[in-house]
Amino acid sequence: MARAATTSDVFNAIAEPQRRDILVLLREGERPVTELARELGMTQPGASKHLRVLREVGLVQDRKAGKQRLYGLDARGLRPVHEWTGGFERFWNESFDRLDAYVQDLKQARQEK
C-alpha cells in the first residue's frame, strides 16, 4: 500500500499524542494558538506546526476573528477513523438489532400465554 504524504493522512495526524490533545481541547470550542500552546504546555511554534498538520488533513478549521485567528475542530475529518473503528461497534450494533427483534418476539409470545 502506497504511503500517503505525512501531512495528508488523518491517521498519521492523530498518531501524535500532542495533536490528539489539541483535538480534545478543541472539542470544547474554538481557541487561538496562544491559548492552546499555554494550556498544553507547548511552545507557540510547536502548537502552530501541529495545527497546520491538523488543518491539512481536514480536522481543524481556522478563521479570522479581529486580530486573532481561531482554530476549531472539524469532526468530519475523523470519518475515516470512525469507519475504521466501526467494526467492533457495528458487530454489536447489528447483534443488538437482532436482540431487539428477538426480545420483541419473546415479549409477545409471553403476553399471549
Partner 1 sequence: MSSTERGAPGQSATADREIVISRVIDAPRELVFEAFTEVRHLSRWWGPEGFTTTTQSFAFRVGGEWEFMMHGPDGTDYAEWISWTEIDPPKRIALRHGESPDDPNAFESVLTFEPDGAATRIEMHTVFPTQQLRDEAVEKYHAIEGGRQTLSNLAAYVTELVRNEVQA
Residues in contact with partner 1 by the rule CB under 8 A: 1, 3, 9, 11-12, 15-16, 21, 24-25, 27-28, 39-40, 84-104, 106-107, 110
Distance CA 67, CA 82 (A): 35
- Alpha helix stretches (DSSP H) within the chain: 10-15, 17-26, 33-40, 44-56, 79-112
- State the nearest-atom distance from the C-beta of 25 to partner 1, in Å: 5
- Per the CB < 8 A criterion, the answer to whether 22 and 59 are in contact is no
- State the nearest-atom distance from the C-beta of 64 to partner 1, in Å: 25
Residue with Cβ nearer partner 1 (63 or 107): 107
Torsions phi, psi for 25 (to 5 deg) = -65, -40
The angle subtended at Cα 82 by Cα 77 and Cα 87, nearest 5°, is 160
Residue with Cβ nearer partner 1 (21 or 56): 21
Q: Grid coordinates standing for 46?
A: 510547536
Residue with Cβ nearer partner 1 (38 or 63): 38
- State the nearest-atom distance from the C-beta of 67 to partner 1, in Å: 26
- State the nearest-atom distance from the C-beta of 87 to partner 1, in Å: 3
